[in-house]
Structure 1
Amino acid sequence: MGMAERVDAVLRGGEAPHVHGLVVVRGGEVVLERYGAGDDHALNVPLGHVEFDRDTLHDLRSVSKSVVALVYGIALGEGLVPEPGAPLMRQFPEYGIQGREHLTIEHALTMTLGLEWDEQLPYTDPANSEIAMELAPDRHRYVLERPVVEEAGKRWHYCGGATALIGELITRGTGRTLAEYAAARLFEPLGFPAHEWSMGDDGVTRAASGLRLRPVDLAAVGQLVLDGGRGIVPGDWIEEMLRPRVVMEGGGSYGYQWYLGNGERRRAEGIGNGGQRLVVVPDEGLVVAVTAGEYDKGIGSSQAVLDAVLAG
């Protein structure tokens, strides 16, 4: 059974009821596209029942983080942001926060800040740290003032606040919002016809979760990574970004805002709430983008179609 037959069997069999879009690219060419229908949201704003097609934008949720890493790399190549090894607190001198001079930008890139942070609750709950950050008068101060709970650089701990800090470094360095700079340096060079990156009530781009793209354009981001940046993102940054930095509990490792599988089938992945997935398999020239609507429920639907794609 071929890949298309496997995918269609999963979709027909009801194993992936919440999949909204699937795009598979092999050898630089789109070889499979499938679109579904279902209730959708733009972050926490209901969009009602949506019939998805190639031109429908979709939340990427935390796959946004992996895109932020690419944008940081572009700004770094232009000399507009500090190197990963630079002191983090020195970039925010106006806060005057003491006791965390040991933190570097790399600790944010690898989510090893060692600060108190909890995103286990639903993203509709103000006790969820990312939502609390959104509600705070100053999101960056909120992150940087979290209590220190462990040594930095030792353990990966999921933290959307880390990505918010990286987004702010891009904004401060470029003099443009993250959304504006990403559009000019990444999305427009890639020829994306439409994209959205939502802002918080404070006017700050939601670096951790706010990007919306067409699935086919999300796949194009993966192809850009596979191609080594194509001069849009510096090639040496792609290599650094995808170098394993910290081993994760439960297997795999983490680079700079990308999940890395280091087994026989090397892969890099962006993962977002509700089943948003971007998978890059370098040795096979393969990119898979999935969008889905299982927000705060899991990734069962997207995993089912991914398993069907990767089973060959």
Structure 2
Amino acid sequence: MTTLLDGAIALAQAHETPWPRDPFGEPPAGGAPWGVHQDDPPPYNRLRGPVHARGPQSGVVWRHGQPLAAWGEPARADLTFSVAKTCLALLAGVAQADGLLPDEHEPVVARLPGIGFDSDHNRPITWAMLLEQTSEWEGTCFGLPDTVDRWRKVAQDPRPAGGPKGGARPLQAPGSHWEYNDVRINQLALALLHLLRRPLPEVFLERILRPLGGGDGLAWRCYDDAWVDLPGVGRVQSVPGGTHWGGGLSISSHDLARLGQLLLDDGAGLLPAGWVQRMRAPVAVAPFYGRLLWLNRDGQAFPGASRESVFMLGAGGHIVWVDPAHAAVVVLRWLDPAHHGTVVAAFADALADR
């Protein structure tokens, strides 16, 4: 007998992303080119780090901390694009647990002078602003100016589009304007590298994924030229917070479910008390967003999901949906964004039916 969950899985599998499976291959008939870098103005519309072929539409469902369903290739460590942003927020929590970030409202420059926060405009920027994407940081990070992602419009941002992407939108005071900007996210990753003084992939494996029982096949790759000299440590690479220009986090669906469960479990003792709650709190100037998490407070972003739900989202069709109302985590990989709403609604019906 076919269940609602079976139907939701079949619906997801019927709507694989239109991107080709080979990042350097031709799009399928009626498909779309691989990646998001093509939308950038020249000369920034190119890959700067390694990428690799992807698997099919895949996913897993966990309920009450236990696997409920899996399909596709859930053990495959696939690129996950901006889901890596949420992983940076988890690493900031690790830094706070270690006493390296006692106050996320402290200006970054107070502990890390000389890495891009010293100008009059950037000096007030706090860690919280970087995590909320309200920093308005100005500068260039590994050859990419922040202007390349100004005026960027992403699907879950309910506000109308502003100017043309890559245009020199006038800067606002740090903390007063929300903008989805991958260059600023890369600057956050660079700051965390300097703060933790260890490659972020090592810390992520050691402090987050391995304690959760995961980490097999994980890779977090850098741009080819993203090298940093850390005093007393040596030459290391700084990872990007996504795969906008290549590189980024490759991780399995099973491990994404583990990260979702970590949020459900309020950090599972791996993060400071209250850290996850602060990640889930709406940004004052962007109530649809938390700290590198998407929210559903008005029920409009993802109808069917509870209003307590939070989402990690990545280009190419990656969703990690964490729904406390159902004690559930739903991971969807390589799902056509045009069908995100209907597929999430189908899974919501399936969870409500169980």
Instruction: State the distance in 2 between where 1:168 and 1:257 align.
Output: 16
Equivalent residue for 2:76, pick from 56, 71, 86: 56
Task: Tell whether the 8 Å contact from 2:149 to 2:180 is kept in structure 1 after alignment.
Answer: no
Question: 1:165 Cα shift?
Answer: 2.8
Aligned positions of 1:265-276 closer than 5 A: 265=306, 266-276=308-318
Q: Structure 1 residue 150 and structure 2 residue 172: aligned? A: yes
**Comparing 262-271 and 283-292, the one that deviates more:** 262-271
What residue in structure 1 maps to residue 222 of structure 2? Answer: 199
Secondary structure, counterpart of 2:57 in structure 1: strand
Aligned match of 2:64? 27
Counterpart of 2:289, as a letter, is Y
Gaps of 5+ in 2: 19-55, 140-145, 151-167, 227-236, 300-305
What corresponds to 1:290 in structure 2? 332
Partner of 1:89: 109
Conserved in 2, the CA contact under 8 Å of 1:68 and 1:207?
yes
CA 1:34/1:304 → structure 2, altered by over 3 Å: closer, same or farther? farther
- Report the secondary structure of 2:330's partner residue: strand
Residue 82 of structure 1 deviates from its aligned partner by 5.0
Partner of 1:261: 296
Which residue in 1 is equivalent to 2:258? 220
User: Cα–Cα, structure 1 residues 261 and 153, in superposed 2: closer, same or farther, change >3 Å?
Assistant: same
The one of 268, 275, 284 equivalent to 1:237 is 275
Distance in 2 (CA, whole Å) between partners of 1:282 and 1:234 is: 20
Structure with more of its chain in strand, by fraction: 1
1:233-279 Cα deviation digits (max 9, x unpaired): 2231111111112353xxx5211111111136211111111111111
CA drift of 1:101 comes to 2.5
Q: What is the Cα-based RMSD across aligned positions, in Å?
A: 2.7
Once the two structures are aligned, what percentage of the paired residues are identical? Answer: 23
Q: Alpha-carbon deviations, 1:199-254, whole Å to 9, x = none?
A: 12222112344111110110110011101111112231111111112353xxx521
Secondary structure of 2:92's partner? helix
Contact 2:130–2:188 (8 Å) recurs in 1 = yes
**Contact 2:80–2:242 (CA<8 Å) still a contact in 1?**
no
Q: 1:74 aligns with which of 94, 99, 104?
A: 94
Measure, in 1, the Cα distance between the counterparts of 2:172 and 2:213. 43
Asked if the contact 1:24–1:32 (Cα under 8 Å) also holds between the matched residues in 2, the reply is yes
The 3-state SS of whatever aligns with 1:270 is: strand
The residue number in structure 2 matching 1:47 is: none
Question: Which letter maps to 1:286?
Answer: A
2:8 paired residue number: 7
Secondary structure in 2 matching 1:89: helix
For 1:253, what is the secondary structure of its paired residue? coil
Q: Contact 2:76–2:252 at 8 Å: present in 1 too?
A: yes
Q: 1:129-151 deviations in whole A, cap 9, x for unaligned?
A: 49xxxxxxxxxxxxxxx986113
Q: Secondary structure at the match of 1:93?
A: coil
Aligned length: 264
User: What TM-score do the two structures reach when normalised by structure 2?
Assistant: 0.67
CA change 1:302–1:212 in 2 (3 A) is farther
Relative to structure 1, the CA distance from residue 267 to residue 223 in structure 2 (aligned partners, 3 Å threshold; closer, same or farther) is same
Q: How far did residue 68 of structure 1 move?
A: 1.0
Q: CA deviation at 1:127?
A: 8.5
Runs of 5+ unmatched residues, structure 1: 36-52, 118-125, 131-145
Distance of aligned partners of 1:186 and 1:9 in 2 relative to their CA distance in 1, 3 Å threshold: closer
- 2:185 corresponds in structure 1 to 163
Note if contact 2:122-2:138 (Cα within 8 Å) is conserved in structure 1.
no
